Amino acid sequence: MRIFLAANVLFVAAISPEGRSAALFRMAQEGLCILVTSPHAIEEARRNIVSRHPKSAARLDSLLAVVTLVPEASPASIQAARPRRLPEGDLPICSEPQLQGCV
């Protein structure tokens, strides 16, 4: 099973090592799932961690070792997702063709 991680999941896993989001990373380490995310989601998570919980930045980096990076959404994919009426900040993630097959 592939699980796409949005920025909020990356953020929470980094600041709460025993939380539910962090459990996804333990599952990936055990081979129970494949975690994927985009550079956009990583950038957003990192920006929020640095501004709110800077001591957790190193943990984010270590968590990313088990995450597969998918390419950014193309401008055409973002434009095609606009009719869904998503917030602008979510369009680069929610328009990813790589999300097919992700939970």
pLDDT (tens digit per residue) in 41-74: 999 999 999 999 999 999 999 999 999 998 877 7
Return mean pLDDT, the chain. 88
Indicate the pTM of the whole model. 0.82
Is residue 77 within 8 Å of 95, Cβ to Cβ?
yes
Give the confidence band of 100 by pLDDT, cuts at 50, 70, 90: low
Dist. CA 51–CA 61, nearest whole Å = 16
